[in-house]
Structure 1
Amino acid sequence: MIYDNHGRPITYLRLAVTDRCNLRCFYCMPEAGVKYLHKSKLMTYEEMLRTVSVLSELGISKVRITGGEPFVRHNMIDFMYQLSEIEGITELNITTNGILTGQYIRQMKEMGVRSVNLSLDTLDKKRFFEIARRDEFDKVYQTLFQLLDAGFEVKVNAVVMDGQNTQDIIPLTELTKDNKVSIRFIEEMPFNGEGSHYPKLNWNAPRILAEIRSKYPDLQKLVDAPNSTSYNYQIPNYQGNIGVIAAFSRTFCGTCNRIRLTATGDLKTCLYDDGVLNIRDLLRNGISDEELKNTFINVFKQRPKDGFEAERNRKSIITESMTTIGG
Structure 2
Amino acid sequence: MLQDNHGRRINYLRLAVTDRCNLRCFYCMPENGIDWLSRKALMSYEEMLRICSVLVKMGVEKIRITGGEPFVRKDLMPFLTALSKLAGLQELTLTTNGVLTAPFVPELKKLGIRSVNLSLDTLDRQRFHSITRRDELPQVLQTLEELLKHGIQVKLNAVVMEGKNTEDILPLAELTRSLPVSVRFIEEMPFNGSSGVKALSWDHFQILNKVREHFPEVHKIPDPPFSTSYNYQVPGYKGTLGIIAAYTRSFCGTCNRIRLTPTGNLQTCLYGESVLNVKDLMRSGKNDPELIEALESAMNRRAKNGWEAEKEMLGSTLMHRSMASIGG
Band the TM-score falls in, shorter-chain normalisation: over 0.9
Q: What is the SS of the residue equivalent to 2:177? A: coil
In structure 2, the residue matched to 1:244 is 243
Runs of 4+ aligned structure 1 residues displaced above 4 Å come to: none
Q: What is the SS of the residue equivalent to 1:233? A: strand
Superposed, 1:248-287 pairs within 5 Å as 248-287=247-286
In structure 2, the residue matched to 1:122 is 122
In structure 1, the residue matched to 2:34 is 34
User: Residues of 1 paired with 2:33 and 2:195: CA distance?
Assistant: 14
Q: What is the SS of the residue equivalent to 2:80? A: helix
Q: What is the SS of the residue equivalent to 2:40? A: helix
Kindly tell me: are residues 196 and 171 of structure 1, through their superposed partners in 2, closer, same or farther at Cα, counting changes over 3 Å?
farther
User: Residues of 2 paired with 1:162 and 1:265: CA distance?
Assistant: 34
In structure 1, the residue matched to 2:325 is 324
User: Residues of 1 paired with 2:296 and 2:148: CA distance?
Assistant: 39
Q: What is the SS of the residue equivalent to 1:171? A: helix
Q: What is the SS of the residue equivalent to 1:210? A: helix
Judge conservation of contact 1:11–1:62 (CA < 8 Å) in 2: yes
User: Residues of 1 paired with 2:294 and 2:285: CA distance?
Assistant: 13
Q: Compute the TM-score of the two structures, normalised by the length of structure 1.
A: 0.98
In structure 2, the residue matched to 1:78 is 78
**Structure 2 residue 218 is matched with structure 1 residue 210:** no
Superposed, 1:219-230 pairs within 5 Å as 219-230=218-229
> For residue 326 of structure 1, what is the amino acid of its counterpart?
G
Q: What is the SS of the residue equivalent to 1:157? A: strand
User: Residues of 2 paired with 1:82 and 1:241: CA distance?
Assistant: 32
1:56 positional shift: 0.6
User: Residues of 2 paired with 1:146 and 1:124: CA distance?
Assistant: 20
In structure 1, the residue matched to 2:150 is 150
Judge conservation of contact 1:115–1:154 (CA < 8 Å) in 2: yes
Q: What is the SS of the residue equivalent to 1:175? A: helix
Count, aligned residues: 326
Kindly tell me: are residues 196 and 237 of structure 1, through their superposed partners in 2, closer, same or farther at Cα, counting changes over 3 Å?
farther
Residue by residue over 1:133-165, the C-alpha shift from the partner in whole angstroms, topping out at 9 and shown as x without a partner, is: 000001101111111111011000000011100
1:62 positional shift: 0.2
Q: What is the SS of the residue equivalent to 1:95? A: strand
1:106 positional shift: 1.0
In structure 2, the residue matched to 1:293 is 292
> For residue 17 of structure 1, what is the amino acid of its counterpart?
V
Q: CA RMSD in A?
A: 0.9
Q: What is the SS of the residue equivalent to 1:36? A: coil
User: Residues of 1 paired with 2:146 and 2:38: CA distance?
Assistant: 34
Q: What is the SS of the residue equivalent to 2:87? A: coil
Q: Compute the TM-score of the two structures, normalised by the length of structure 2.
A: 0.98
In structure 2, the residue matched to 1:44 is 44
1:296 positional shift: 0.8
User: Residues of 2 paired with 1:243 and 1:270: CA distance?
Assistant: 22
Q: What is the SS of the residue equivalent to 2:176? A: coil
> For residue 232 of structure 1, what is the amino acid of its counterpart?
N
In structure 1, the residue matched to 2:104 is 104
User: Residues of 1 paired with 2:191 and 2:266: CA distance?
Assistant: 17
In structure 2, the residue matched to 1:64 is 64
In structure 1, the residue matched to 2:53 is 53
Residue by residue over 1:140-193, the C-alpha shift from the partner in whole angstroms, topping out at 9 and shown as x without a partner, is: 011111111110110000000111000000000000000000000000001110
User: Residues of 2 paired with 1:172 and 1:228: CA distance?
Assistant: 21
1:93 positional shift: 0.2
Q: What is the SS of the residue equivalent to 1:281? A: helix
Moved more, 312-321 or 121-130: 312-321
Superposed, 1:123-202 pairs within 5 Å as 123-196=123-196, 198=198, 200-202=199-201
> For residue 31 of structure 1, what is the amino acid of its counterpart?
E
1:313 positional shift: 1.4
Q: What is the SS of the residue equivalent to 1:176? A: helix
1:277 positional shift: 1.2
User: Residues of 1 paired with 2:327 and 2:115: CA distance?
Assistant: 17
Unpaired segments of 5 or more residues in structure 1?
A: none
Residue by residue over 1:63-82, the C-alpha shift from the partner in whole angstroms, topping out at 9 and shown as x without a partner, is: 00000000010100000000
Q: What is the SS of the residue equivalent to 1:263? A: coil
User: Residues of 1 paired with 2:55 and 2:88: CA distance?
Assistant: 9
Judge conservation of contact 1:189–1:196 (CA < 8 Å) in 2: no
Q: What is the SS of the residue equivalent to 2:313? A: coil
1:197 positional shift: 5.3
1:196 positional shift: 4.7
Judge conservation of contact 1:269–1:275 (CA < 8 Å) in 2: yes
User: Residues of 1 paired with 2:4 and 2:324: CA distance?
Assistant: 27
User: Residues of 2 paired with 1:29 and 1:284: CA distance?
Assistant: 30
1:195 positional shift: 4.6
Q: What is the SS of the residue equivalent to 2:200? A: coil
Unpaired segments of 5 or more residues in structure 2?
A: none
